[in-house]
Chains A and B, each alone.
Chain A
C-alpha cells in the first residue's frame, strides 16, 4: 500500500537556525499536506500543495511539491522555541476514497533557546 517516509525522524537545532525536512513515497500523490502537532493536541494544517512543482509559503514556512509528485519538503526559517513539535506530511489515498489521508510517522523538532 501507499506509504510516506519522513526524514529525519528527529532533529534538535538552535534557535534562529533554518531547518529542512522531507517526505518521500514510492507512489504518486496529487496533494501534499503538512501538519504540525503540539503535545496533547490535534494536528494543525500548515501548508497544502496541489500542483507538481508548486512552492508555497506560510510565514517562515515554505513547502514544495516535488516535480515527480513522489516527494515534498518543508523548510522553516529562523526557528523559534514555539516551532517545537512533530511535523507530519500527509496525502490522499489513491485507493477509492481520496479523503482518506495517508500519514508519515513525523519529524520531531526540538529548538534550543
Chain B
C-alpha cells in the first residue's frame, strides 16, 4: 500500500524555465494539499484540491503558480518562469474524506540556478 508519491525528488531549473511537480495521493485519499518549506522554517500552506476542484488556493502566489488534480492522474504543481526565490522543498500531502491529519510525501526539492 504505497504512501504519497512525489516526483521528482530533486529538480534543478534555470531561471525562466518551468517546473512541474507531481503528486500521487495515497490509495483511497481524495484530498490533496501542497505545502512549501524554506530552510529552517515550518511548512506554509499553498493549495487544497479535490478531484477536478480547487478548494482553497489562498496560499498560492498570484502569478506563475498553478495547481491541478485531474480526474485521472496525479496532482500537478506548476511553477512558470521560475526565479531563485522559488527554491524550496515542496511537499504534497493527502487525506481521506474524514480528516484526521495528512500523510505527506517525501517532497520535491527545487533548486533554481
Q: Chain A interface (Cβ within 8 Å of chain B)? A: 33, 40-45, 48, 88, 90, 93, 96-106
Contact = CB atoms under 8 A, between A and B. Distances in A.
Interface residues of B, number: 26
B103 interface: yes
B4 to A, nearest CB: 8
Nearest to B41: A105
Interface in B33-76: 33, 40-45, 48, 55-56, 58-59
Contacts of B105: 42
Q: Which 7 A-B pairs have the closest CB atoms?
A: A42-B104, A103-B42, A97-B56, A103-B43, A100-B45, A45-B101, A105-B42
B24 interface: no
A94 to B, nearest CB: 13
Interface in B89-111: 91, 93, 95, 99-107
Contact of A97 (B4, B55, B91, B104): B55
B31 interface: yes
Given A42-B105, A101-B102, 7 more contacts: A33-B101, A41-B106, A42-B91, A88-B43, A98-B99, A99-B95, A103-B42
16 contacts: A40-B106, A42-B91, A90-B43, A96-B58, A97-B48, A97-B55, A99-B31, A99-B56, A99-B95, A99-B99, A100-B59, A102-B45, A103-B42, A103-B44, A105-B40, A105-B42
A36 B26 CA distance: 19
Given A41-B106, A41-B107, A100 B58 contact: yes
B112 to A, nearest CB: 19
Interface of B: 4, 31, 33, 40-45, 48, 55-56, 58-59, 91, 93, 95, 99-107
B42 A88 contact: yes
A65 B51 CA distance: 33
B56 A100 contact: yes
Contacts of B58: 96-97, 100
A43 B43 CA distance: 10
